[in-house]
Structure 1
Amino acid sequence: MASITLNHLVKKYGDGFPAVNDISIDIADGEFIILVGPSGCGKSTLLRMIVGLEDITDGDLLIDGKRVNDKAPRDRNLAMVFQNYALYPHLTVYENIAFPLRLAKGKHSEDQVDKLVTEAAATLELTDHLQRKPANLSGGQRQRVAMGRAIVRQADAFLFDEPLSNLDAKLRGQMRSEISQMQRRLGVTSVYVTHDQTEAMTLGDRVAVLKKGELQQIASPRELYEQPVNLFVAGFIGSPSMNFLPATLEGTTLRTALGDISIPEDKARKAAGKRVVLVGVRPEFFEDAKLVEDSKRPHGSTFMATLTHTEWLGNEQYGYINFDPAPEMRELLNSLARDMDADELRPQVVVTLDAASRIRGGREAEIWLDTRKLHLFDAESGENLTRDAEAGAALTREAAEDRAEEIATAQQADRQGDSAFGNGSSGNGTSGAGNATVDAGAGRSGGATAAGGKHAAG
């Protein structure tokens, strides 16, 4: 296991375009970092720079404090799981997993190879498939084989390049859980690239949000969600995404297309001097005013609106409200949409309603908004004017403490399980992290296949 440090990394191609531009991240030993952003943001390029499949134009990459910019992938001791699995079709599952061990000629005896492969297969529920060929496996099973090949190596870190994008929704959910549990059990440093919201929010200790090759914010999923640093992060993180409502601020009153909204004085003070702002509101900050408890009502503001339609999901429902922004505000919303890889940002507010609400489309209704939680953004710079940096940092510190506790608990349970079965193997526990680096064979050649061999950021 190892820490990974990115110091002002830059990647420029022949045309001078910075696919990765001055990114600095300190990844702690045992931490699970997610790189997320829209297509072309540089996340896959950054991952390939770490593993050595892309040259570093400027900056320093350190693994356990040692500079590795000029080291070949095989010398960086990293294990990579590719999007297309990079399995060898003519080899059995057993031999695919064993391949990196056999590549290190003379380093492992046949008994050691067998022990490491069977332990990895048991961990990933592949024991019954060891003699099958990849073509006869499901997508989820192939992904497990690719992960098994990484586990048997004595890696300093795992690198994942959108490993679940080829799977259906149900399998993605299952594999997310398995990857998360495996990472905690092994306690191995991991860097994971995805464009999927759910993967980013559920897997990572911290999530790095990238936009056009630049790091926007790196923090725990909860800090990103509750205390985004700017419009882009606020709009990209969360599903449904945050609503953005153009407004003018007069004292403690926001004049919006939905009506006047009173906000707390502390929020109004932070936006003082900004005549025009964008109000950021998560869908769950709204509620049917009829169902709001009396104790909560003073902490919010109500307005009348006509919903175009509602969607009932069983445990909750979504309501949709259209509004008509001024022309200059519409262009601002469209510019933000382009940044997030969308065609346009519809002038629409999505509200979450209790499943018991009787509000329906076409009817005017009274909606309550919790104004304590909304954010105000500078309409020009996109800066979050109401961000509480201290509260956000506290959320990320809590996530780091939780990570350490989860790793310790998972490894202790693993050791107890091994002891209970009397197999004397701690390979799936703390030393399993040692059994965990890039396939030299599936590294540079497999990586080129996985990324299409093209110079594209993201």
Structure 2
Amino acid sequence: MSSIELKNIVKKYGDGFPAVNDVSLDIADGEFIILVGPSGCGKSTLLRMVVGLEDITSGDLLIDGKRVNDLAPRDRNLSMVFQNYALYPHLTVFENIAFPLRLAKGQHSDDEIRAKVQQASSMLELDEHLERKPANLSGGQRQRVAMGRAIVRDADAFLFDEPLSNLDAKLRGQMRTEIARMQRRLGVTTIYVTHDQTEAMTLGDRVAVLKKGVLQQVASPRELYEQPVNLFVAGFIGSPPMNFLPAEVKGSTLSLPFVDVEVTGELAQKVAGKDLVIAGIRPEYFKDAGLGDNVPGGVSFSAVVDQTEWLGNEQYAYIPFEAHEAVKGKLEELDRELDGEGMRTQLVVNLDARSRIREGDEAQLVFDPSLMHVFDPETGECLTRDDDKAAEIARDSEDARRAALERARAREAAAAEKAS
């Protein structure tokens, strides 16, 4: 296990464009960190620089305090799991997993290789497939073989490059659980690249959000969700994404398309002098007032629902609105940055499944304005971010990570003692 430190890492190609631009990141020993962002943001390039498949234009990469910029990939003792599995079709599952051990000629006896492969296959439930070839396996089984090959190497860190993108939705969910369980059990430092923010939110101890090669925010999933630093992070994290509404500033009142909201204290000072800001409200913060759910200090409004989607355990309602011309361009730009399709602006409301609101109805909705984020339309800065709350979330998340790691190591030690 190792700590990995990236110091002002830059990657420029022949045209001089920085695919990765001045990224600094400290990854603790045993930490599971996610690199996430839309297509082309530089996350895979950054991972390939860590493993040594891409040269670093400038900056330093340290593994356990040792600078490794000039080391070949084989000398960095890192294990990488690729998107396309990279299995050898002519080898059995056993030999695919054993391959890196065979490659280190003379370092492992046949008995050691057999024991290591057996341990990995048992962890990944591959015992009954050891004599099969990759062509006879499902996508999920192939991915587990690729993970098994990474495990047997006793590497200092695991690197995953969008390993689940070729799997269907059900398998992705199952494999997320397997990867999380494996990482906790082994306690190995892990860097995981994905464009799927659901994977990022469910797997990572911390998540690094990238945009056009620039690191936007590194934090626990909960901090990213509740205390984003800017408009981009707020829009990228969350499914369905946060609603962004133009809000005209009229004294101490923010006038949204559907309702006026009074602001006080520090926020009132921050918006003073501005004509317009962007209000961000997550879909689940809206409630159907007709159900009688109590929202202390809530602001209510009515709006005609254009479309609904009932999913059994929840329901979505879609309410179109016209974006203010002054922020329309900003919202369209943000949509492009988030790989959106440029659809019309609409409010997405995540309702309780009990709600009987249907398309064409005039819905009575209520939300707690204290949960609303407010952004500067010029800079994208989140004006409602609470640094103290963010620090508290960060401490809680780190404590939880350390506790989970200690539990995993205690289980491993107990299992090893029992086996001996």
Seen in structure 2, the aligned counterparts of structure 1 residues 209 and 292 have a Cα distance that, compared at 3 Å, is farther
Post-superposition offset of 1:408: 1.5
For residues 120-169 of structure 1, the C-alpha deviation after alignment (integer angstroms, 9 at most, x for no partner) is 11111111111111111111111011101110002110000000011111
AA in 2 matched with 1:157: A
Instruction: Map 1:50-449; keep pairs closer than 5 Å.
Output: 50-294=50-294, 296-297=295-296, 299-344=297-342, 346-419=344-417, 422-424=418-420
The structure with higher relative contact order (CA 8 Å, sep 6+) is 1
In the alignment, what sits opposite 1:442? Answer: none
Contact kept in structure 2, 1:264 and 1:371, CA below 8 Å: no
Post-superposition offset of 1:20: 0.3
Contact kept in structure 2, 1:270 and 1:386, CA below 8 Å: no
AA in 2 matched with 1:165: S
Equivalents in 2 of 1:355, 1:264: separation in Å?
Answer: 34
Larger displacement relative to structure 2 (192-201 or 301-310): 301-310
Structure 1: gaps (5+ residues)? 425-458
For 1:372, what is the secondary structure of its paired residue?
helix
Contact kept in structure 2, 1:98 and 1:117, CA below 8 Å: yes
Larger displacement relative to structure 2 (394-403 or 116-125): 394-403
AA in 2 matched with 1:200: A
Post-superposition offset of 1:52: 0.1
In the alignment, what sits opposite 1:435? Answer: none
For 1:207, what is the secondary structure of its paired residue?
strand
Normalization by structure 2: what TM-score? 0.97
Equivalents in 1 of 2:127, 2:44: separation in Å?
Answer: 32
Structure 2: gaps (5+ residues)? none
Q: How many percent of aligned residue pairs carry the same amino acid? A: 66
For residues 356-394 of structure 1, the C-alpha deviation after alignment (integer angstroms, 9 at most, x for no partner) is 222222122221011011110001111101111221122
AA in 1 matched with 2:341: D
Contact kept in structure 2, 1:262 and 1:301, CA below 8 Å: no
For 1:102, what is the secondary structure of its paired residue?
helix
For residues 405-444 of structure 1, the C-alpha deviation after alignment (integer angstroms, 9 at most, x for no partner) is 112112323333454xx432xxxxxxxxxxxxxxxxxxxx
Equivalents in 1 of 2:306, 2:383: separation in Å?
Answer: 31
* Aligned length in residues: 420
Contact kept in structure 2, 1:22 and 1:214, CA below 8 Å: yes
Post-superposition offset of 1:33: 0.3
Seen in structure 2, the aligned counterparts of structure 1 residues 326 and 389 have a Cα distance that, compared at 3 Å, is same
Equivalents in 2 of 1:269, 1:240: separation in Å?
Answer: 31
Equivalents in 2 of 1:317, 1:257: separation in Å?
Answer: 22
AA in 1 matched with 2:87: L
Contact kept in structure 2, 1:97 and 1:149, CA below 8 Å: yes
Equivalents in 2 of 1:361, 1:402: separation in Å?
Answer: 43
Larger displacement relative to structure 2 (85-94 or 254-263): 254-263
AA in 2 matched with 1:87: L
Post-superposition offset of 1:210: 0.3
For 1:33, what is the secondary structure of its paired residue?
strand
Post-superposition offset of 1:77: 0.6
Contact kept in structure 2, 1:206 and 1:219, CA below 8 Å: yes
Post-superposition offset of 1:186: 0.4
Instruction: Tell me how large the CA RMSD over aligned residues is.
Output: 1.3
Equivalents in 1 of 2:168, 2:358: separation in Å?
Answer: 33
Post-superposition offset of 1:323: 0.5
Seen in structure 2, the aligned counterparts of structure 1 residues 55 and 64 have a Cα distance that, compared at 3 Å, is same
In the alignment, what sits opposite 1:449? Answer: none
Equivalents in 1 of 2:367, 2:265: separation in Å?
Answer: 16
Normalization by structure 1: what TM-score? 0.89
Contact kept in structure 2, 1:87 and 1:96, CA below 8 Å: yes
For 2:95, what is the secondary structure of its paired residue?
helix
AA in 2 matched with 1:415: A
In the alignment, what sits opposite 1:452? Answer: none
Post-superposition offset of 1:264: 4.6
AA in 1 matched with 2:337: D
For residues 251-304 of structure 1, the C-alpha deviation after alignment (integer angstroms, 9 at most, x for no partner) is 33211221323345443333222221000000011111233444x33x221112
